[in-house]
Amino acid sequence: MVDPTLRQRRKEARPQELLEAALSLFVEKGFAASRSEEVAVRAGVSKGTLYLYYPSKEDLFKAVVRQTLSAEIAEGVRVLEEHQGSVSEALVQDLADWWVRVYESPGSAVFKLAITEMRNFPDLASFYAEEVVLPGCTAIANLVMRGIEAGEFRAVDVNNTVHSIVLPMIMLCLHKHSIGACTTIEQTMQEPHAFIRQHLALVLRGLQSEAALARSAAEVSGASSVSLKLPKIEG
Amino acid sequence: MVDPTLRQRRKEARPQELLEAALSLFVEKGFAASRSEEVAVRAGVSKGTLYLYYPSKEDLFKAVVRQTLSAEIAEGVRVLEEHQGSVSEALVQDLADWWVRVYESPGSAVFKLAITEMRNFPDLASFYAEEVVLPGCTAIANLVMRGIEAGEFRAVDVNNTVHSIVLPMIMLCLHKHSIGACTTIEQTMQEPHAFIRQHLALVLRGLQSEAALARSAAEVSGASSVSLKLPKIEG
Amino acid sequence: MVDPTLRQRRKEARPQELLEAALSLFVEKGFAASRSEEVAVRAGVSKGTLYLYYPSKEDLFKAVVRQTLSAEIAEGVRVLEEHQGSVSEALVQDLADWWVRVYESPGSAVFKLAITEMRNFPDLASFYAEEVVLPGCTAIANLVMRGIEAGEFRAVDVNNTVHSIVLPMIMLCLHKHSIGACTTIEQTMQEPHAFIRQHLALVLRGLQSEAALARSAAEVSGASSVSLKLPKIEG
Amino acid sequence: MVDPTLRQRRKEARPQELLEAALSLFVEKGFAASRSEEVAVRAGVSKGTLYLYYPSKEDLFKAVVRQTLSAEIAEGVRVLEEHQGSVSEALVQDLADWWVRVYESPGSAVFKLAITEMRNFPDLASFYAEEVVLPGCTAIANLVMRGIEAGEFRAVDVNNTVHSIVLPMIMLCLHKHSIGACTTIEQTMQEPHAFIRQHLALVLRGLQSEAALARSAAEVSGASSVSLKLPKIEG
DNA sequence: AATGAATGAGTCTTCATTCAT
DNA sequence: GATGAATGAAGACTCATTCAT
């Protein structure tokens, strides 16, 4: 009747299917307002089946947070570390690409869960701090420091700069899953990808040293094909 | 037994005390995980009394969101609109002062409630969009446009710039009430006030036109008192 | 409408009413098969009210066991200790009266709960061992020892004798709440009170020393009005 | 792979293995608190297999009760009926041996199940009354009556005497599977076999007629080998 | 025959809300 | 107005039973 391996395949796919269903519901309603049966329904199984794979709603939630964002973060960190060209390039290209990927991925929802539920799940807070915040911030901090050492950037405060860079992009993810998901609202944020690129370009210009600025200006006024895919900003 | 005036005074103060208790609990646990009796306890009254003032937990929540942030926003908007000096000054002084006030006020918590609960309370979403987001963004957008018209800023995309300016400051408020409230976590963000000022300084530099940059440089190299209270950044 | 103190009185009576309802249900169905709502219904309240007084079904159960039998035991122990006449008299009169009272009291049900649920509630086991078994057995053991010392009884093993005395009476309580409660069954045990007295008389005769036996025989053959309220046994 | 004979043998042994597993679990936790999967695990099979042999948990339980004690009872009854010597001998030897065997057998657990679950399974109650209680009591009642007729015993009430004889021995079985199984408890009952013998000896002495008592005394004072294996009691 | 994944009825427990005092 | 005892709808979780493999 049914493909003989289907049952087996379904069994192996269950945990992932449940995690995805749970993520979508948790990010929509919040942990406390999500009914575990609704998670099961979204995953196409019955209430009882959910409990075959995760011993409680809380464990399910923790699994969602632990398993959803890590890969995305690790990949972005790797790309930044392996980047060979100038730091400015890394900032407006690699970092932008990374965050566009994050923004489009289901993992973007985890930021909302983190903000929302952290205080109720202290052990998740340390997981998130160590596995997401720390590696991400460190990678960007390294980038900024390399820029300063190379003379591309001014001698700014590194920590604050990292936050100027990433906080808007995280906010973008939060926005996507809160106001952005309320279709009744007139949206002020129409082009998230464009925003990411322009934000990074703006910060880059804010960071650049006199020398780097002069160089950029020269390139722009010249026929330089570089322009770092910068959104066209004139001034 | 009790001073009748005191009782009267307490009675009149009740709604505000209840709102404050509710805000603190809702921001800590989230709406669904907050027990209405706990709100009453924090306000020093009994469960039943709460219902004399707010007909339901949901109504209480909506009152919290509606009444907590509005004054702060209106005041900031007013200051920005009345500012007489250069736009750059408004950005790094008035706007910074405004956000420091917001960050320190109980209203900072409302951003977390908005992110967290918006999808569950669609009518709050429109309230928030119209009463908080729109006026705030409009005021800053006007600032940016005035800067462009005055030749202080490059001809950037206004909307995206507004987001580059405000999103990190909103994130700061969210942070304060989520990870920031988990005392077990090693904090990367140590000086929120300093961050606000440096972020705005960074963005300002990113926005400034060549002419404005040259002027700034002249001022710095000259005897200018650097009246903008700019954090010292060299480059 | 209602007696103004009724509400208060009911509140104070609740715990006891709930304990009684719980005892009757637990002894009927067993702990696991008893639904907590059924306890509430028997006590004439709603499900939720039960939880105002006992935080869980398990706590309710423990309260039932701890509070139901203690008074009965303590009273019996006191009577035995204060007995002034011969040990034989104490055995067939005071002890019999005690156990008739126990048998008729709701506390008789606790023996069944103890047998049934002890292995599932280890802390109840030690409570029961220390608060019920130990004082009861000690009191009877003292009685037996006094009888031996006084020459009324032979030099029997005290512990085993205590068990010969009490085990049938405990079994009687168990019987009352198990087979005895199945009205479909033809009963072999028709007169529990008579059984208690005859059992004690039988054991007494088994215990008595030659001398005491001879004395008893003399009394019986004489006009002695004593006869200790002994059921008439001839032989 | 596996010896086909072994598989065959195991298949035939299954029902018995399942009954044993079920008995051990039911007596430990009670019927309602026992999970049928745990029965299967103890029998070394899977949940599904259990249902190939017994259509429901309740049927399994009934089978346990029906099949576990009957043989033990029948055997004891037969021995008592076939006994040729004096009734006193039968009482302290055959009956004691019988109960030692019962106490040591798995069947001892059935008494606990009977006490515990009887009221929830009325048809078991009648089975137990007719197949266990009735034959057992009848056999012992016959013994007592033979003793009275033979002049060995006084003219006691037969029914009550039967209960004085058997109830402590049943209690012993209950004890073994309730408090006795709680290893944390200091035990007052150290030697069940000795207790059985001494209890029967005590009751015997309580039952004996003057004539029989005198005869016993003579035997003891004479060279009698005290063939009754009476525990040494002096008095 | 044997397995164990899946099901969903059933139960404990919580908590927003009511209302007699 | 203020209280807090009482209610019962709702939700997390369990487990006997089924059935495709």
Tens of pLDDT along C147-188?
999 999 999 999 999 999 999 999 999 999 998 787 666 666
**What sign has the CA pseudo-torsion C93, C96, C101, C104?**
negative
Distance between CA atoms of C40 and D56, rounded to whole angstroms? 30
pLDDT at A76 over 50: yes
Task: Say which residue, B203 or C70, is predicted with more confidence.
Answer: B203
Distance between CA atoms of A214 and A211, rounded to whole angstroms? 5
Task: Say which residue, D54 or D9, is predicted with more confidence.
Answer: D54
pLDDT at D48 over 80: yes
pLDDT at B45 over 60: yes
pLDDT at A88 over 60: yes
pLDDT at B83 over 50: yes
Do residues A89 and A228 make contact, with C-beta atoms less than 8 angstroms apart?
A: yes
B189 — pLDDT class (breaks 50, 70, 90): low
pLDDT of residue C53: 96
pLDDT of residue D205: 95
Cβ separation B182–A210 shorter than 8 A: no
On the 0-12 / 13-18 / 19+ scale of CB atoms within 10 A, C171 is buried
Chains A and D in direct contact, meaning 3 or more beta-carbon pairs closer than 8 angstroms: no
> A46 CA to E9 C1', in Å?
13
Do residues C49 and C131 make contact, with C-beta atoms less than 8 angstroms apart?
A: no
Whether C35 CB is under 7 Å from strand F: no
Question: For the segment C88-98, what is each residue's pLDDT rounded down to a tens digit?
Answer: 999 999 999 99
Count other C-beta atoms under 10 Å from residue A183's C-beta: 8
Q: How many CB pairs under 8 A join C and D?
A: 203
Whether A11 CB is under 7 Å from strand F: no
Question: For the segment C83-137, what is each residue's pLDDT rounded down to a tens digit?
Answer: 888 999 999 999 999 999 999 999 999 999 999 999 999 989 999 999 999 999 9
Residues of A in contact with B193 (CB under 8 A): none
pLDDT of residue A233: 44
Whether C14 CB is under 7 Å from strand F: yes
Residues of B in contact with A28 (CB under 8 A): 119
Question: For the segment D147-202, what is each residue's pLDDT rounded down to a tens digit?
Answer: 999 999 999 999 999 999 999 999 999 999 998 887 766 666 668 999 999 999 99
Residue among B112, B126, B198 minimizing CB distance to A184: B126
Whether B46 CB is under 7 Å from strand F: yes
Q: Provide the 8-state DSSP code for C157.
A: -
Q: What burial letters (b/e) apply to C57-87, b meaning 16+ CB within 10 Å?
A: beebbbbbbeebbbebbeebbebbeebeeeb
pLDDT of residue C7: 56
Residues of D in contact with C155 (CB under 8 A): 233-235
pLDDT of residue D7: 55
Give me chain C's average pLDDT, please: 87
CB-side neighbour CA atoms (13 Å) of C231: 21
D14 — pLDDT class (breaks 50, 70, 90): confident
Do residues B200 and A159 make contact, with C-beta atoms less than 8 angstroms apart?
A: no
Residues 6+ apart with CB under 8 A from A107: A68, A69, A71, A72
Query: Chain A residue closest to B160 (CA)?
Result: A195
Residues of C in contact with D203 (CB under 8 A): 164, 202-203, 206
For B151: left if phi > 0, alpha if psi spans -120 to 50, otherwise beta; the answer is left
Q: Which other chains touch chain D, taking contact as 3+ CB pairs less than 8 Å apart?
A: C
Distance between CA atoms of C69 and C62, rounded to whole angstroms? 12
